[in-house]
Structure 1
Amino acid sequence: MVLNRGKSAARRGRRQWCVAKRTHPFREIYLLPAAGAGNPGVIHRIPPPHYSRAATQHPLCSGKELACCPYFDYTMREIPQEARDMFFLARYKIATLCRLLILLYLGVIAVHARAEESIELCSRSRLLQQAHARGLSPALLPQQTSPSDTDVLHYSLSLTVQPPDSYLTGKNVMTIRSLRNDLNEFRFQLADSFTITTLQLDGRPISFTRINPVTVQAEFGRAYRAEETFELTVGYEGFTRTEGFGSIVFGVRSSGAPYAYTLSEPWFSYTWWPCKDDNTDKATADITVTVPEGLVVASNGLLRSVESTGQGQTRYHWVHRYPVAPYLISFAVTNYNTWTVNFEHANGTMPVQFFIFPEDDTAEHRAAWEKCVDMLSVFNRIFGTYPFIEEKYGIYQFGFQGGMEHQTMTGQGGFWEGVTAHELAHQWWGDMVTCKTWHDIWLNEGFATYSQALWAENKPGSSGFPALRSTMQLLKPSRVDGSVYCYDISDIGRIFSSSFSYRKAAWVLHQLRHVVGDAPFFAILYEYRNRYRYDSASTEDFIAVAESVYGKSLRWFFDEWVYGIGAPAYRWRWANRQVNGKNYLLLSVEQTQPDTYGVFTMPIDIRATCNGQSWTRAIWNDARTEYYVLPIPAPASSVALDEGGWILATEIQNAPYVPGPPVVVDTAPTPGARVSYGLDQLRVTFHTEVIVSASDFEVRGQRQGVQPFIFQYDPATCTVTLRFLQPLPPDVYTLRVRDTVRAADSGLTLDGEVREAVLPSGDGQPGGDAVVYFSVTLQAHPSPPPPVGRRPRR
């Protein structure tokens, strides 16, 4: 149990236990060492109140919950009646104490709620890692197959519930298209806690086989050809089983009002309705829920009708005509207060509907939720038209203390602005474009998390970039030692890792924006949306879109930031240097992160203040230690590295400057110059005093060959002059400065590489000849203007 799940959590726990007691014997747990766990200790007997505590107190579990701990297996046996009675008495006393503590706790967290709202995420990661994921082996999870042999076109789901009773009666009519010839079976997911009362194919009863506790295989008794369509009707009833984050929950609030709600993500739809649980197979839906009179039903799409059955019940019929992934279908039932406002857009008006508990229906809470209308305007401008503009957007209150982006109808457990922005953004990123597999969950959660920062940057009255930067600092992950891409989807806590799937993933997008630039970044989002609208996409799909829009390879970026682990840490140093009246900023950048993280390649912004004026430049950093010599207009009085906060760095530390390798800062003629006949000398200037000799230089013509010269070096100007015995004949010449040249202060060899005929030379590390090309002609040619400095390499 998580304390901030709400003040009715203790009551709900008792009710759920009583329902379970009707069908299950009262049991206690024995923990045994798991296979391969070594010898974690003796066998532990654990009474029911302490299932989770027993595991978390064991030193090898390191805070893991029982079902998540790799060191134990567990078994159960029935407990005698006397022990049960003692347990319920103790449970009642504990529950009473817990209620008092919860009320005290809620009073404390209310003070901090507003400060936390900007960094509050869906809360699914934090809650799930603290929850007991019961009784489901990864081997039994719904399996996605690619390519699929069927395409579900439509679900017509009818349910009858009477909360707080968790008994459910339902029927689902699935309209399905065959994608291959000789299709004679269909697999769907439905928990074995339900009895299948009807299974019909186009109105004809058929048989089925239960493959495992989750999966049912319908046997057609005939074969369908490709493109044939059929209807599969599943009637079922039974007690629901809650999994995950609360896949279906029944209870009574403190006000006495009964409720029920669903939250199926990632793959727990089977706990309350039969479906093909595959993110790549979206379908439209009709959702009809019959409930006791006085209760209100919130669900996907538009409310088609509300009618009384004449038996003390009301039937709500919701219609959703946009394709939806199964885990995004939901319903919620209680005595909601409702209201509607309008979102005015370029092509008309869309309703925005709200469903709130009466006891929480205050002007402040209404205003908090109604901020989503401004958010719709902002996201419409940034992401494109709201994906479900012909239907609605809605927010309903439920017991999960976070949010869930059910398509067109978000469930929220509170009124935090950050959660409201996050869940609304999911309508684009997660609902319209859905992660193809749970390996790709960052495409849902990272996008929605970054949207919180985009809202802060663009909302009415925002300071703009400072607000973006501030929000991204609040969204820094607490850990970076894992990958954004989720390799292990058997662990739900890892899928919804706050650090990796949410926060670090948001930083992937923030950094990508800086690498490619604002206009290309938002063009990437636009193309990604258009290419995969109402469909699903993988990480590789997104990379392909990004590269096609940007026009250059971004594999280096995604390999290190999505598929790789870690983040960089920087130690940097700077100094001023003046050579022959020209000013240079000397800079070194060292990556100090653990070796297991590897070396990160990133452009890094440098800002210097020169004579009171701001000077900026991006350097390209791709080695453990790199040195830079940057021409600046005047000596720098201050220098900042990544002042804009564009890089997810675990540390940025400034240190005293240590000299680096020498570089060539000037040549006469300049690289690529065309000079007229009469050139009788060359000059090469270094940024620092060097140890140099004639053997470090060579001048060679394509036709004229090696040219002899007289060598002269002036330490005061750091300049070498090569005087020829006669003017150079017309030809194309190569000046080579060998990396045997050394700096007098550091002893490091020349950093000489010259790219794109731009000086200063160098790739940031010692070693490498400087090679400069120029030509001598019989006619005079103006030389190109001197270069400003080295460009970042991409």
Structure 2
Amino acid sequence: MSRVVWLVLAAGSVAAARPGDECCGGAHRWQPAPREIGSFDPATGRDLRTYPPSPYVDFQHMTLRIDIPDMNTPRLKAVQNLRFVPVGRAMSTLVLDAKLLEIVKVESPGRSVTFSHDGRTLAVNFEPVLPPGEAAEVETTYTVDDPPRGLTWTPESPAWPGRPAQLHTQGQAEDNSYWFPCHDSPNDRLTTELVVTVPSGYLVSSNGRLVAPSRFAEMGRTTFHWLQDKPHVPYLVSLIVGKFDIQNVARAGRDRIPMPVYVPPGRGGDIKVTYGNTPRIVDVFERRTGQAYPWDQYAQLVVWNFSAGGMENTSATTMYDTAIFSAETIKDGDLDGLISHELAHQWFGDLITCRSWEHIWLNEGFATYFTNLWWEERDGRDGYMAGVLGNFDSVIGRDKADAPYQPAMVSKDYRDPWETFRKAANPYPKGASILHMLRVKLGDEVFFRGLAAYVQKFKFREVETNDLRRTLEDVSGETLEQFFEQWCYRPGVPEVHLTATWNPETSELAFAAEQKQTVNGHNPAFVFDLPIWVDAESGSRPLGVVRLDARENQAVFKLPAEPAMIVIDPELSVLADVRFEQPVRRWLAQLERGPTLPARVRAARELAADGSAIGASILLRVAADEREPVVLRRTCIGSLAAKGNAAALATLSRKAIKSHDVREALISEGVKVLAGAFTPDHARVRDVIIAAATKDESERVRAAAVRAIGEAGWRDRLAILIAAAGSESQHDRVRQAALEALAALNVPEGLSVALTCAQAGNLNRTRPVAINAAATLAHHNPDVAVPALIKLLEDRERRAWEAAGRALLSIGDRRALPALNELRTGKRDPVDAAMIGGWIAEIEAKTKP
């Protein structure tokens, strides 16, 4: 989830990315500063790479009995029975991760045990020793007291009148050991069973199936017994307790499994609107993998204060606070991107799990790619290619590193697991891009047969990248080692400068290609075929390929006449940054009749540098055409804005644009043309933006317009921003835009608005936006801003107190130091203490006399 940060949700309709964080798991996880050289410490000679820990045993089953007396007191009691079999040799000590647990006692049937617990790990010593191959069990009694990670408790609060108390867990990457002892690594799996007693009126959700109806343990108490009888890895164990509206979105008489959706009380009527496509997505993924959905149910649960977008806990995905839309707000973009991503993880991440975090792309890249497959089903080929193009753009824009100084997508060079989710060679879009390239390289029939073979061979197992490679090699008969080596195990992508020259005397089209990225012993030239298409009487057709395997390569093709259009890699078969020089007339032809959506988008981008009237005219025509794909229309608007063509944007604004996405692009791009000279066309664009901020039916468009007012610096429109900061919208997007705009406007009036929105009772994802704005505006009245931010260090919500700490760091006021020192002293988690210690050191350095 994800927790890099991000998830490309591009579709044929350009679905809106959800607010906040990446899809899976650990948003806001502080990490130490990255190493400069990476995997080697030159001072000591130490290898700094991270390897997965040895489990030493085969964990088989966990039964966890949990008692929660009061949902408003963040403390629970638990008894864990953990069954395992030593592997390889006799065992005298079992070591488990057990972070900040209060261990009461540890026992083992038929054996004498002692234990020690250092706050991070639990060591259980056996007498006599455990022989290999013989099952053993430990029973651990312990309490959990409001842990900083892994289990988030949201008690009732006067700031949220009527909102019931709730708790949810979040195990990825290695945080479930904050609420139960385990081998907190993805390289072993076990079955799990949770028996949870809570105050009556609350519901309990966990993995698997509810084995019996809930029962009354005593007056006012209810017990729920959940069984996950198919093995999964520890970070996927889930516990959620709360009060919900629930609806099963499975199709009666057709779907094998229940598909319940849990949402906040009062929102049950919106479940079908938001999650109604879930059964269809299951159908697509079963067909593409050759594997029926593997678990007993598929639940989706919307919870308070979730740290990410979604988390694919086995059979029970957790969703963020506002992941429920009304029939009106869903017009601004649906949730299918996130729903399909998390659902794909039930196969890739849960049924098959990366053995160590370096191979996380086998979870996240697959889930991202399977969202593209859902777009293909729902929106056709253009929907699929829009998603692929979005993935390519994300990678090409960031993955510019050279070995050995930056880690590859698959690399042991990390200290914290979350580094593997967030690197420049990002496993979400790069992994998805690699799968698309494999699909093009192998062909649909072989590729999907290979995926089905991979799933069948490795289901209920942990995998590494080579497991996928070898399976695809077995199915295809192709050697793929070089492919995987250059796309998975090295950083960066090729940067290719390409020219085409037509020789009328010989009727030859000559291509010259040069790889411009670093090429040296650590970074040899990439090896790939770059497809070339040209126009023909019957339409565009493949001409051939330019083979690249060195710094410079050439290719020559015979043609009967000079082509009017030359298209480079229209199906995105190579993840490369290709710079192609050709006359404007060819780009115009490619925009109008290119063979694929990416080819046309590429032409629209290139025409941003063209100053001709005909180019602007064609861009405007495509942008205004409701029949054209939204992603192409948005690109055309961006190119017109890049030209500074206020006249074209003013003309477009006079048309009845139905698409919210296109109107949003008109606003967000239109503000960019307003610097400098001011003509009636500029005035028209300005007036459209101002009107949209209050009158557009789309919340997304209103948010874009509000943000544009701040970007443009229109202080005379301050009242619009203040009103927007008090408005309600899906994901709080309009209020968040207003706060960002007030910070950009940099006026004193914005500070009180920001501090008000930073207080408890506002959406947990809005509060950091407000706190960041307050930090920017603090110079207007530091005597008000700094104490208010110091007070927020006491807040229960992690997003709020972390944002307050970072804000105080940016302000650099020594008055914050006593409170930060007190905060650091009170943190039981060394990760939090180290983060706060870093803030203190930086403030002291900034303010040294």
Instruction: Normalising by structure 1, report the TM-score.
Output: 0.62
2:445 corresponds to: 519
- Aligned AA (2:140): V
1:422 corresponds to: 341
| Aligned counterpart for 1:588 among listed residues 496, 508, 512 | 512
| Aligned counterpart for 2:168 among listed residues 257, 261, 268 | 261
- In structure 1, distance between residues paired with 2:66 and 2:32: 25
Alpha-carbon offset, residue 428 of structure 1: 0.5
Alpha-carbon offset, residue 291 of structure 1: 1.3
Q: Secondary structure at the match of 1:536?
A: strand
- In structure 2, distance between residues paired with 1:205 and 1:579: 93
2:564 corresponds to: 637
| Aligned counterpart for 2:289 among listed residues 383, 392, 406 | 383
Is 1:508 matched up with 2:434? Answer: yes
Q: Which has the larger radius of gyration?
A: 1
2:245 corresponds to: 337
Q: Residue deviations 1:594-620, cap 9 Å, x none?
A: 447642222222111134543204413
Deviates more, 1:512-521 or 1:265-274: 512-521
Alpha-carbon offset, residue 646 of structure 1: 3.0
| Aligned counterpart for 1:439 among listed residues 335, 358, 363 | 358
| Aligned counterpart for 1:407 among listed residues 314, 317, 320 | 314
Alpha-carbon offset, residue 631 of structure 1: 3.6
1:251 corresponds to: 155
1:323 corresponds to: 231
Q: Secondary structure at the match of 2:210?
A: strand
Instruction: Please tell me whether the aligned partners of residues 291 and 452 of structure 2 are also in contact (alpha carbons under 8 angstroms).
Output: no
Alpha-carbon offset, residue 403 of structure 1: 0.3
1:653 corresponds to: 580
Correspondence list, 1:276-287, <5 A? 276-287=183-194
Flag the 1:130–1:175 CA change in 2: closer, same or farther, 3 A.
closer
2:380 corresponds to: 463
Is 1:354 matched up with 2:289? Answer: no
Is 1:534 matched up with 2:460? Answer: yes
Is 1:626 matched up with 2:626? Answer: no
Q: Residue deviations 1:49-103, cap 9 Å, x none?
A: xxxxxxxxxxxxxxxxxxxxxxxxxxxxxxxxxxxxxxxxxxxxxxxxxxxxxxx
Deviates more, 1:123-132 or 1:373-382: 123-132
Q: Which has the higher contact order (CA 8 A, sep 6+)?
A: 2
Instruction: Please tell me whether the aligned partners of residues 12 and 384 of structure 2 are also in contact (alpha carbons under 8 angstroms).
Output: no
| Aligned counterpart for 2:221 among listed residues 307, 313, 323 | 313
Flag the 1:496–1:164 CA change in 2: closer, same or farther, 3 A.
farther
Alpha-carbon offset, residue 124 of structure 1: 4.1
- Structure 2: gaps spanning 5 or more residues: 4-9, 34-38, 40-46, 325-334, 402-407, 585-849
2:806 corresponds to: none
- Aligned AA (2:57): T
Flag the 1:121–1:623 CA change in 2: closer, same or farther, 3 A.
farther
- In structure 1, distance between residues paired with 2:31 and 2:244: 30
- In structure 1, distance between residues paired with 2:65 and 2:12: 40
Alpha-carbon offset, residue 337 of structure 1: 1.1
2:327 corresponds to: none
Alpha-carbon offset, residue 128 of structure 1: 4.8
Higher normalized strand content (fraction of residues) = 1
1:219 corresponds to: 125
Q: Residue deviations 1:735-755, cap 9 Å, x none?
A: xxxxxxxxxxxxxxxxxxxxx
Q: Residue deviations 1:438-477, cap 9 Å, x none?
A: 1111111111111111110123xx222x211111222332
Flag the 1:557–1:417 CA change in 2: closer, same or farther, 3 A.
same
- In structure 2, distance between residues paired with 1:344 and 1:463: 27
Is 1:202 matched up with 2:113? Answer: no
Instruction: Please tell me whether the aligned partners of residues 576 and 586 of structure 1 are also in contact (alpha carbons under 8 angstroms).
Output: yes
- In structure 2, distance between residues paired with 1:528 and 1:643: 29
Alpha-carbon offset, residue 559 of structure 1: 1.4
Instruction: Please tell me whether the aligned partners of residues 31 and 416 of structure 2 are also in contact (alpha carbons under 8 angstroms).
Output: no
CA-based RMSD of the aligned residues comes to 3.5
Flag the 1:249–1:654 CA change in 2: closer, same or farther, 3 A.
farther
- In structure 1, distance between residues paired with 2:508 and 2:222: 78
Correspondence list, 1:635-714, <5 A? 635-655=562-582
Flag the 1:520–1:382 CA change in 2: closer, same or farther, 3 A.
same
- Aligned AA (1:175): R
Flag the 1:366–1:114 CA change in 2: closer, same or farther, 3 A.
farther
Alpha-carbon offset, residue 637 of structure 1: 2.1
Instruction: Please tell me whether the aligned partners of residues 124 and 496 of structure 1 are also in contact (alpha carbons under 8 angstroms).
Output: no
Alpha-carbon offset, residue 519 of structure 1: 1.9
Alpha-carbon offset, residue 229 of structure 1: 0.9
Instruction: Please tell me whether the aligned partners of residues 195 and 238 of structure 1 are also in contact (alpha carbons under 8 angstroms).
Output: yes
Instruction: Please tell me whether the aligned partners of residues 141 and 267 of structure 1 are also in contact (alpha carbons under 8 angstroms).
Output: no
Instruction: Please tell me whether the aligned partners of residues 486 and 494 of structure 1 are also in contact (alpha carbons under 8 angstroms).
Output: no
- In structure 2, distance between residues paired with 1:425 and 1:552: 27
- Structure 1: gaps spanning 5 or more residues: 6-111, 658-794
- Aligned AA (2:409): V
- Aligned AA (1:392): Q
| Aligned counterpart for 2:410 among listed residues 485, 494, 506 | 485
- In structure 2, distance between residues paired with 1:127 and 1:354: 19
- In structure 2, distance between residues paired with 1:600 and 1:159: 55
Q: Secondary structure at the match of 1:155?
A: strand
Flag the 1:572–1:143 CA change in 2: closer, same or farther, 3 A.
closer
Number of residue pairs matched? 536
- In structure 2, distance between residues paired with 1:393 and 1:149: 32
Q: Secondary structure at the match of 1:222?
A: strand
Alpha-carbon offset, residue 195 of structure 1: 2.2
Alpha-carbon offset, residue 420 of structure 1: 0.4
Instruction: Please tell me whether the aligned partners of residues 173 and 234 of structure 1 are also in contact (alpha carbons under 8 angstroms).
Output: yes
| Aligned counterpart for 1:189 among listed residues 85, 94, 97 | 97
Q: Secondary structure at the match of 1:423?
A: helix
Flag the 1:433–1:388 CA change in 2: closer, same or farther, 3 A.
same
Q: Residue deviations 1:172-205, cap 9 Å, x none?
A: 11111222342222111112x3222221112655
Alpha-carbon offset, residue 293 of structure 1: 1.2
- In structure 1, distance between residues paired with 2:475 and 2:20: 30
Higher normalized helix content (fraction of residues) = 2
- In structure 1, distance between residues paired with 2:251 and 2:93: 45
1:300 corresponds to: 207
Deviates more, 1:529-538 or 1:499-508: 499-508
Q: Secondary structure at the match of 1:610?
A: coil
- In structure 2, distance between residues paired with 1:291 and 1:647: 54
- In structure 2, distance between residues paired with 1:648 and 1:574: 20
- In structure 2, distance between residues paired with 1:524 and 1:121: 35
- Aligned AA (2:277): K
Deviates more, 1:596-605 or 1:217-226: 596-605
Flag the 1:261–1:128 CA change in 2: closer, same or farther, 3 A.
closer
Alpha-carbon offset, residue 362 of structure 1: 3.4
1:606 corresponds to: 532
- Aligned AA (1:607): W
2:490 corresponds to: 564
- In structure 1, distance between residues paired with 2:436 and 2:23: 21
- Aligned AA (1:355): Y
- In structure 2, distance between residues paired with 1:345 and 1:144: 45
Is 1:170 matched up with 2:72? Answer: no
Over the matched positions of the two proteins, sequence identity in percent amounts to 25
